[in-house]
Chains A and B, each alone.
Chain A
Amino acid sequence: MEILFILGLPLLGALALAFVSPRRFAAEINIGISLATLISAALLVLRVIRHGDMLDWREQFFVDSFNAFLVALTAFVGFTTAVFSRPYMRVEVQHGRISPGRLRLYHSLYQVFMAAMLLALLTNNMGLLWVAMEAATLSTVLLVSLYRSRASLEAAWKYFILCGVGIAQALFGTILLYFAAEQTLGREGMTALLWTHLNAVKGHLEPRVLGLAFVFLLIGYGTKAGLAPLHNWLPDAYAEGPSPVLAVLSGLLLNVALYAVVRCKVLVEGSIGNYFPARMLMGFGLLSTVLGALFIWRQRDIKRLFAYSSIEHMGLITFAFGMGGPVANFAALLHMTVHSLTKSAIFFAAGHASQTTGTQRMDGIRGLVSLCPTVGWGLILGSLAILGVPPFGVFASEFLILTSAMRDHPWATPFLIVALGVAFAGIFSKVQPMAFGENEAPPLAHSPALVPVFIHLALVLTLGFYMPFAVSEWFRAAAKLIGG
C-alpha cells in the first residue's frame, strides 16, 4: 500500500504539474507532493522496522533494510530540494534565465525523476531496475538543459550520449544475467530476473557468464554513478544545470546508481566466490577518489568544484563496498547518507551564492559572509562537513573506511590519505576567499530558503556526535545483507 503511494504520488503529481500554470502555486504543489511522498516513505520504513523485509505485488517489489533507508533518504532530500527550489526558481525567472513555461517543465520532470528513482530502489526485478535507471536519465536530460544556453545544451547532449551508451551496457549485462539465471530458475513463473530468487540460488549460477555480466553492469551503472574514467559527463552537467537539479543528481541519483551496482555485486560475489567483483569495485573506487581529488585543484567554477568532490566521494564509497565486511559496508552506507545530505546542502548554498553575486566563477564570488550571512556560513559549514572535519558525520564514516583499509588493504591507505588531504586543501583554499572578503552586490529579491541547508547539516552533525540505536541497528542490518 505504501509502495503504491510512494510511486503513484510523484507520477500523479507530474501529470498535475504539467497542467497547472506555473504562476499559480506550482511550487507549492511540488512541495506538497514531495511531503506526501516523504510521509509514505516514513510509513514504509516503520513497517519494515516492525515486520521485517517485505515482498509486494507478485514479488515485483521488495523492501529490506538496505533499500528502505535509501528510499527514506531519497524522499527526504527530494522534499527539502522542493522547498529550496521555490525561491531559487522565482529568482531565476525574475533574472530572465528561464521562462514560466519552462518552469512547468521543470516541476513536472522533477516529479517524474523522483518516481523513477524510487522505482529503481523499490523494484525486485533487475529488468525494471534498468528501465527505472534509464527513465531517471531521460527525465534529467531536459532538466540539465533547462537554461537552453549553448553551454547547457552541450552539457545535456554529453550527458545524454554518455549515459545512454553506459546504460545500454547495463542492459546487455542484465540480459546476460537472465541468460545465466534461466538455466537454473527456468522460464516458469518469470522469476529469473527477480533479485530475491536470484539471491537464493546465487551459488548455482554459471560463474563465467555472471562474471561477464558483472563487467557490463558495473560499467553501465558505474557511468551513472560517476566512477572515473567514466565520469566525463558529470562536471559539465553539474556546471550548467540549475542548482536544485544538481542537488538531487548529486545527492540521490549517484546513490541510486551505486545501489544498483551493489545489488549486482551481491549476486555475482555469491556465484563466483572469488575476489573479482570486490577488486573491480576497489580499483574503480580508488581511481575515482584520486582523480576527483586532483581535479579539484584546477577548477574555477564553483559547481564544477563540488562536482569533482562528488566523484571523489562516490569513489570512496565504491572502494568501501569493494572492501566488504561489516565495518566497511557500515561505513559505506553511513557515507552515502552523510554525503547526500551534505552535498545537497552545499549545492543549495552554492546556488544562492552564484545568484547573489551573478556569477559561477569563483574569483567573482567574494565576501559572501558580509553579503548574505546565511549563504556564506552555509557554504563554509557545508564545505567543512564534506571535507570530514571531526564533529560532522563524514568524519566518522571516512575514519571507519580508512581504518578498515589499513587493516585489510594497507597498500591503499596512502592513496586514500593523500587524496583526502589534496581535496581538503583544494576545497578549503577556494571556499575561504569566497566566504570572506569584500563585495558589493544588491541583495536577492526573494529571501533564500536556507532552512534545508541547516537541517541537512544539523543531521550530519548529529550522525557524527551520536547515532541513535535504531539507526545504527538499521545500518548494521543493511551492511550484513550486502554481505558482511
Chain B
Amino acid sequence: MVIELGIALDLLVGFFILGIFFFQIREQFDSLDLSHLEALKEE
C-alpha cells in the first residue's frame, strides 16, 4: 500500500513539475517550441 501511494505521489508531483516547466519555458522563450532547447552541446 505504501508503494502504491508513493508511486501515485511521485507521478502527481512529476506532472506538476512538467506543468511548471511548460510555464517557465513559455515565459523564457515565448513559445513551447522545444527546438529552443538545443543550445547545450559538447563544443
- A residues in contact (CB < 8 Å) with B: 60, 125, 127-128, 130-132, 134-135, 138, 141-142, 145, 148-151, 153-158, 160, 164, 171, 193, 236, 239-240, 295, 298, 300
The reply to whether A151 and B39 contact each other, CB–CB distance below 8 Å, is: yes
The residue that A138 contacts in the complex, of B13, B40, B43, with Cβ under 8 A, is B13
Further pairs besides A157-B21, A300-B43: 18, Cβ < 8 Å: A60-B2, A128-B6, A131-B3, A131-B10, A132-B6, A134-B7, A134-B10, A135-B6, A135-B13, A142-B20, A150-B28, A150-B29, A153-B25, A153-B28, A154-B37, A157-B25, A160-B17, A160-B18
Q: Is the CB of A125 within 8 A of B17?
A: no
Q: Could you say which of A145, A158, A298 contacts B40, with CB atoms under 8 Å apart?
A: A158
Contact among B2, B3, B17 with A142 in the assembled complex (CB-CB below 8 Å):
B17
* B42 nearest CB across to chain A (Å): 6
Contacts of B42 in A (CB 8 A): 295, 298
Contact code string B24-43 (vs A, CB < 8 Å = 1, else 0): 11001100001011111011
Q: How far is the CA of A142 from the CA of B38 in the complex (A)?
A: 19
CB contacts (< 8 Å) of B28 on chain A: these are 148-150, 153
Closest Cβ of chain A to B11, distance in Å, is 9
If the complex has contacts A60-B2, A154-B40, A236-B40, are A138 and B10 also in contact, measured as CB distance less than 8 A?
Answer: yes
B5 to chain A, nearest CB (A): 9
> Which B residues are CB-close (under 8 A) to A131?
3, 6-7, 9-10
B6 touches A127 (CB 8 A): yes
> What is the interface of chain A mostly: helix, strand, loop, or mixed?
helix
Quote the shortest CB–CB distance from B4 to chain A (angstroms).
9
Asked whether A153 lies within 8 Å of B24 as measured between CB atoms, the reply is yes
Contact A128/B17 with A145-B24, A150-B29, A155-B40 known, Cβ cut-off 8 Å: no
- The 29 sampled A-B contact pairs (Cβ below 8 Å) are A127-B7, A128-B3, A130-B7, A131-B7, A131-B10, A132-B6, A134-B14, A138-B14, A138-B17, A141-B17, A142-B17, A145-B21, A145-B24, A151-B39, A153-B24, A153-B25, A153-B28, A153-B37, A154-B36, A154-B37, A154-B39, A154-B40, A155-B40, A157-B21, A158-B40, A160-B21, A171-B7, A240-B40, A298-B43
Structural contact, B3 and A127, CB atoms closer than 8 A? yes
Q: Which among B20, B29, B37 has the highest number of chain A CB atoms within 10 Å?
A: B37
Closest CB-CB distance, A310 to chain B, in whole Å?
A: 16
Taken together as a complex, chains A and B put the C-alpha atoms of A156 and B17 apart, in Å, by: 11
Distance, CA A153 to CA B7, complexed state (A): 25
CA distance A305 to B18 in the complex (A): 29
Q: How many residues of B contact A (CB 8 A)?
A: 24
Q: B29 to chain A: closest CB distance in Å?
A: 7
Given known contacts A154-B40, A164-B14, is B2 in contact with A128 (CB within 8 Å)? yes
Q: A311 → chain B, closest Cβ, in Å?
A: 13
**Contact residues in A for B25 (Cβ distance below 8 Å):** 153, 157
Q: Which residues of A contact B17 (CB under 8 A)?
A: 138, 141-142, 160
Chain B residues positioned under 8 Å from A160 (CB to CB):
17-18, 21
* A157: contacting residue among B7, B37, B43, CB under 8 A: B37
Expressed in whole angstroms, the Cα–Cα distance for A142 and B16 within the complex equals: 11
Pick the residue among B10, B29, B43 that contacts A135 (CB under 8 A): B10
Contact assessment for A193 and B3 in the assembled complex, using a CB-CB cutoff below 8 Å: yes
* B14 smallest CB distance to A (angstroms): 6
* Bound complex: CA A470 to CA B40 (Å): 46
Query: In the assembled complex, which residues on chain B have CB atoms less than 8 Å from the CB atom of A295?
Result: 42
In the assembled complex, the CB of B37 is this many whole angstroms from the nearest CB of chain A, namely 4
Give chain B residues whose Cβ lies under 8 Å from the Cβ of A125: 2-3
Inter-chain contacts of B14 with A (CB < 8 A): 134, 138, 164
- Interfacial chain A residues near B20, Cβ < 8 Å: 142
CA A44 – CA B24 in complex, angstroms?
42
Q: Report how far A67 CA is from B18 CA in the complex, Å.
A: 32
Checking B7, B18, B40, B43 against A151 with a beta-carbon cut-off of 8 angstroms, the contacting residue is B40
Chain B: minimal CB distance from A478 (Å)? 26
Which residues of B have CB within 8 Å of A130? 3, 7
Name the residue of chain A whose CB is nearest to the CB of B7.
A131
Chain A residues with CB below 8 A from B6, complex form:
127-128, 131-132, 135
Bound form: Cα–Cα A419–B11 in Å: 40
Chain A nearest CB from B28 CB (Å) reads: 6
A138 to B7, CA, bound (A): 12
Asked if B24 contacts A148 (CB within 8 A), the reply is yes
Nearest CB of chain A from residue B1's CB, rounded to whole Å: 8
A190 to chain B, nearest CB (A): 8
Chain B residues, Cβ within 8 Å of A156? 21
